[in-house]
A and B are shown apart, each in its own frame.
Chain A
Amino acid sequence: MGQEFYEELKADIGREGERLVAEDEVCKPMIRHWCEAMQDGNPLYTDEEYASNSKYGGVIAPPQMILTWTMPPLWPPVERPPHPFEQFLKKMDEAGFYGILITNVAQKYLKPLYPGDRINFTYKVTDVSPEKKTSLGVGHFITATFIFNNQKGETVGTQSLTVLKYRIGP
């Protein structure tokens, strides 16, 4: 099964899903909430006077918050349209690779995010490894890349996530 299944998986690389828009604009309350949780005292994020005198001209969001703006709501739950990455993971579930583990994270920051910016994103699977033996079981490493734009259509950042989808057991 291995090689044929792998070829099937590879055929889906690069297919981009629908562009999804954040519910909320980048905003100071969420920035402050993040900084309190992370114990991050960087004045660019919460000190309006400091930030106004900086090259940014005002408060910006911590770059690492990039994924936060587009996270799905807790309630009411929304059904997002099936996305290539989710469909990929489902295909792997159906082939018996139930286990999932995030192994790598990468973020690139291209433009600062200011309060008032509205983020949208799309994502696609960008890499699949051949079947590999790991300590958790046999599986494939799948990398998905998220591309975040602002309301002007400028790409503000990207995130890559590598996930191991594996068959539990030897």
Chain B
Amino acid sequence: MDWKSLCWEDVEEGQEFLTVAMDVSCTTVIAGAIASRDFTPVHHDRDFAQGAGLKDIFMNNATICGLVGKYLADWMGPEGELKEISFRIGTPCFPGDTMTMTGKVVKKYTDGDQHLVDVEYEFNVPEGRNCGGTGTLALPARAH
């Protein structure tokens, strides 16, 4: 597999990322919770979740962080570095939802010897926006 990385020079402000759609199953929700060592019942026990007034179990925040990081890292390639992410949480992501991920570059700048890019992204599920926020990435630069 050939893993390409974006160079800072090739990125433009306003550039949009490819839309990625992920089908979320019961297994996706539970696997993410357990892999992030989150054993809170609302993320794996349907009876418990429904008792708490929710439609079903739902994706935990650590898994959302995992998918945000993956979406941005897949866009920039393995030589880019994730510096920070920040997002608001909205509608839960339930088993059976398709999570649609979109994003774009909003600012391109340097800070010392770092070549940085600020991005915005949104993850939507059929019932609304699951999360939306910003991130900062450091990309490799051709010119030094």
List residues of A (61-99) whose CB comes within 8 Å of B's CBs: 62-65, 67-68, 71, 74
Q: Mark A14-41, 1 if CB is under 8 A from B, else 0.
A: 0000000000000000100110111111
Which chain B residue lies CB-closest to A67? B62
Known: A71-B37, A105-B89. A40 touches B66 (CB 8 A): yes
Contact yes or no, A104 B62, CB < 8 A: no
Whether B116 is near chain A, meaning CB under 8 Å from some CB there, is no
**Cross-chain pairs A/B with CB under 8 angstroms, 9 sampled:** A34-B35, A37-B32, A37-B66, A42-B3, A43-B1, A64-B65, A64-B85, A71-B37, A74-B39
CA distance A41 to B71 in the complex (A): 11
How many contacts between A and B, using CB within 8 angstroms?
99
Known: A36-B31, A64-B65. A109 touches B82 (CB 8 A): yes
List residues of A (148-170) whose CB comes within 8 Å of B's CBs: 160-161
Chain B positions near chain A (C-beta within 8 angstroms):
1, 3, 22, 28, 31-32, 34-39, 61-70, 73-74, 78-79, 81-89
